[in-house]
Structure 1
Amino acid sequence: MSVDTTPPSGTDDRARPVPPEAAETSRAFSRRTMAIWLITTGLVGAAASFLLLHERILLWQDPEHSTACDINPWVSCGEVMDSWQAATFGFPNIFLGVVGFPVVIAVGITLLAGLRPPRWYWLGLQAGVLFAFGFCVWLWSQAVYTIGALCPYCMVVWAAVIPMTVSVTARNILTGTIPASGAVRRVTADWWWVVLVLIYLLVAASIAIELPQALGI
């Protein structure tokens, strides 16, 4: 898999000098590869978000409704939806996913179609995925340590946002969109997948440790 690293003219991010290390390592995050990352994670996140929206509408219609993922006190979408954290900004968090993930999918489709986005485009996407990641980290901490209940659909959203954020950040570092030293680019090229795995392991470990305590085991 390869990426075109020929410096173009104009205003896009590739107009900036791309260091030799970036030109070599960015092959792992070509436009096609990034399109696949974004479309795949966007579809997964969107599916979970729309399922959550469906359950939220049913709860609005019937407060006694038992959601499809109300398995026990520890695994319960309804328990999480009833918390104030589920509407952090004054409206259901679900709407962020319902709007945001289709945008990510659209970005992926435009990349597949051959779009060569300008640098500000990638920086905007970077800001968006970092916000999503930070918000998911906060929601994870609230669900595990404050609410004491997990929403499976929310966990699917977390699982989608993690690789989305790691891949976009790695791509932007390797291509020079985010200025970084040669050492940082080399570490990113060699270890980005380790960061992805470690984040998943940390989330799984926190749940595995907290679950027995929550259940009194």
Structure 2
Amino acid sequence: MTSTTSSLDDFPGTAPAPAVRPDRRWAGVALAAAVLGFYGAATLVYERLQLFLDAGHRTSCDINSWLSCGTVMRTPQAEAFGFPNPFIGIVAYAVVAVIAAAVLAGARFAAWYWWCVQIGVTLGWAFVLWLWWQTTFEINALCLYCMLVWVVQTVLFAHTTARNLEAGVLPAPAALRRAGGAWAWFASAVLLVLVFGTVFVRFAGVILPA
């Protein structure tokens, strides 16, 4: 008597549901980060245009003397490359959103492409760190929409690095590659605690009541 039990391998047209790949996990986080980052950058561009039209314009995040987008926007650091920094964010986050949407739709990219994504995201995060230093220790004022960009760029950097480690794009020991997806959120949290912890200490004198 022959067994009637068969596996999916017996049917060429049938395959088990694919496991969630690290690039698809990355894409979900990256798309959300890109949308939030684009919103923050677009809002800053709008407010900058209002300042251009009316030098006395009060921006939507001018809350007090130290939490003021208008103060930050009027500094040379706000135009590091000769034009308002948020224009960079609009283009960069639009590109990230397109890549993330393509991955969610099933697109797969070569390792060199992911290297380009990694380099771009890392340079963006380095620029964010420079802006954080400038606003915290040189300008002595903070911008709410800028801080939103700090958050999303940090999360994007951590998850892009984790994705590329897990997928083998970045060389790393096997144990680190396997743990990539697990530590991405933890790394994001640690980096943000360091960034905003420094901000809190720096502005503690005006944040905390006397």
TM-score range, shorter chain: 0.7 to 0.9
SS at match of 2:55: coil
Change (3 A) 1:162 1:215: closer
Report percent identity of matched pairs: 37
Post-superposition shift, 1:180? 1.3
Change (3 A) 1:104 1:195: same
Question: 2:79 pairs with 79, 87, 90, which one?
Answer: 87
CA distance in structure 1 between the aligned counterparts of 2:20 and 2:190, rounded to whole angstroms: 20
Would you say how many aligned residue pairs link Structure 1 and Structure 2? Answer: 191
Q: For 2:176, give the aligned amino acid.
A: V
Question: 2:164 pairs with 160, 167, 172, which one?
Answer: 172
Query: Contact 1:148 / 1:214 at 8 angstroms: preserved in 2?
Result: no
Question: 1:191 pairs with 180, 183, 190, which one?
Answer: 183
Question: 1:200 pairs with 172, 176, 192, which one?
Answer: 192
CA distance in structure 1 between the aligned counterparts of 2:75 and 2:20, rounded to whole angstroms: 41
What runs of 5+ residues in structure 2 fail to find an aligned partner? 1-18
**Which aligned segments of 4 or more residues in structure 1 are displaced greater than 4 angstroms?**
214-217
**TM-score, structure 1 as length reference:** 0.83
Question: 2:30 pairs with 13, 35, 38, which one?
Answer: 38
Q: For 2:193, give the aligned amino acid.
A: L
Change (3 A) 1:70 1:188: same
Task: Find the counterpart in structure 2 of residue 136 from structure 1.
Answer: 128
Task: Find the counterpart in structure 2 of residue 5 from structure 1.
Answer: none
Post-superposition shift, 1:190? 4.4
Task: Find the counterpart in structure 2 of residue 120 from structure 1.
Answer: 112
CA distance in structure 1 between the aligned counterparts of 2:181 and 2:147, rounded to whole angstroms: 27
CA distance in structure 2 between the aligned counterparts of 1:51 and 1:193, rounded to whole angstroms: 27
Q: Does 1:56 align with 2:56?
A: no
Query: Contact 2:38 / 2:93 at 8 angstroms: preserved in 1?
Result: yes
Please tell me whether Structure 1 or Structure 2 has the larger radius of gyration of its CA atoms.
2
Task: Find the counterpart in structure 1 of residue 64 from structure 2.
Answer: 72
Which whole-Å deviations, capped at 9, do the CAs of 1:160-211 have from their partners, x for residues lacking one?
A: 1011111110010111101112243255454333211111111221111111
**TM-score, structure 2 as length reference:** 0.85
